[in-house]
Amino acid sequence: MARILVTEEIAETGLDQLRQAGHIVDVALNLTPEQLIAAIPGAQALIIRSATKVTAPVLDAAKDLIVVGRAGIGLDNVDVPYATKKGVMVVNAPQSNILSAAEQAMALLLAQARNVPQAHAALVSGKWERSKWEGVELYGKTLGIIGLGRVGALVAQRALAFGMRLIAYDPFVSKERARQMGVELLSLEELISQADFISIHLPKTKETAGLIDADMLAKAKPGLRIINTARGGLIDEKALYDAINSRRVQGAGLDVFESEPCTDSPLFTLPSVVVTPHLGASTVEAQDKAGVQIAEQVQLALAGDFVPFAVNINAAEASETVRPFQNLAESLGRFMGSLNQSLPEQLDIDYQGAIAEDDTRILTLSVLKGLFGTGTTEPVSYVNAPQLAQDRGLSVKESTSTTAKDYVNLVTITAGDHSVSGTLTGPKSEARIVMIDGHRVEVPPSANMLLVRNDDTPGKIGLVATILGNAGISISSMAVGPSEEGPTALMVLTVNTQLSDEILGEIAAAPGIIDAHVASC
């Protein structure tokens, strides 16, 4: 029997489930941070939604806490790294609202096609405007799905029933998996030029923010209608306004906005724009599922059983030798995801040295967590990463060797045409990337990295540095590795900011430069 502190309104069915299991459910709503710190001692579990902030002081006060359960998806209000450090499991309910979100997308899709809100508003104001609000059928139209994760896949199933042609952009879904869903994978540019409707289902990251901008909208098929029930900021709202105003885009159905709550926007003045106040998860069923799912996860955690939706893992499960390599492995996975730009059919992970003598499964999970974290809509954890790999058609192959040629320990991952190796160096065990695509380098992992392949001739380093310097970009570290197979070299630079497409294009077009890519760890 455990004491479970509940600080926000949760579906009563979930709370009853906990009570029936013999736990003490202590409901204390609207606590201030100070009141929460006073109430948390003695609680083995804490259940919250989005309002309660689980900070380091709260976790320090929670001497008996085993698990924090978030009845929903987002975890911005939980200090997950500190919870992990304190040995507290964090769980959420990532599947609770996916059906509701998919149905909201379909509702806006139909509203856009048939002008339902506009016709309703006209009729209740006394206007019978049958010809003005003539719509279009979904049958035979092309739907472009941007992001083919759980919600995107549900939208695809429903759109297929309407007789729509399905195309999608998702670099992290294999072509075979898409084919099984009746979807054709295309580039984003191809998708936007062919689609009659677009439905967006992506997370908001630095790579996806502003993804649908003025340049992309200029490539749109005339008459395009855009639906966004994912995250605000994925669409440049000013560019969307201009595109609709100029009739390049027919209209939009928006459930999310760049800044929320949003009650005033130029988009609201356009008659072909349908808007709702972030209602994707606002159904009775979704709220009930969230309460039931989080109750199930908390029960499993308290019982010491396998917890499917744990978003962190007790580092004590890894050996003293392996544990320091977890962050490096995750960084290598992120690097590969950002460099590859698409999901390969196979991911090879090779462990060399002393770490190969231990159980390296946690490191493989870390690699997958980093890889999928760069481009999926759903939360990625150590627990669900293998299922994501299976769902998206990725084969993972591990190999080990207790001897390493040049390093005490080495982790190498290979996917498609790319490979990257990393190790820990020095008395502080600092992470270093030591080989990329066969080029020996040594740079620390970084959020902003530039890879330049060039002719191995004098002046190329200065050329790249000059372009960056003229753009006001600082170089934090740099390594150069010649190729063992030909007269080329690879420059790897870490910089202080994200590089724009213009700067990257200028570098790629410079004399003697073969190609240039950005990557992130």
- Please tell me which residue in 49, 70, 177, 231 is annotated as part of the active site: 231
Q: How many CB atoms lie within 10 A of CB 408?
A: 12
- Residues forming a β-bridge with 26: 5
What is the signed CA dihedral for 415, 420, 423, 426, rounded to 10 degrees?
Answer: -160
Contact by Cβ (8 Å): 307, 30:
no
- Please tell me which residue in 49, 278, 392, 453 is annotated as part of the active site: 278
Q: Give me the half-sphere count of Cα atoms (radius 13 Å) on the Cβ side of residue 160.
A: 15
Residues whose CB falls within 8 Å of the CB of residue 321, separated by 6 or more in sequence, listed in order: 354, 355, 357, 358
- Please tell me which residue in 129, 134, 260, 357 is annotated as part of the active site: 260
Backbone angles phi, psi at 162, to 5 degrees: -85, 0
DSSP string, 151-204: HHHHHHHHHHHTT-EEEEE-TTS-HHHHHHTT-EE--HHHHHHH-SEEEE----
Strand order in the sheet with 513-519: 475-482, 488-495, 449-455, 513-519
**Counting every residue, how long is the chain?**
521
- 260 catalytic per annotation: yes
DSSP 8-state secondary structure symbol assigned to residue 5: E
How many Å apart are CA 315 and CA 326, to the nearest integer? 9
Contact by Cβ (8 Å): 369, 382:
yes
DSSP string, 388-421: HHHHTT-EEEEEEES--SSSSEEEEEEETTEEEE
What is the signed CA dihedral for 13, 16, 21, 22, rounded to 10 degrees?
Answer: 170
Q: How many CB atoms lie within 10 A of CB 466?
A: 12
Structure-token pair, residue 72: 């929903």
Q: Which residues are catalytic?
A: 231, 260, 278
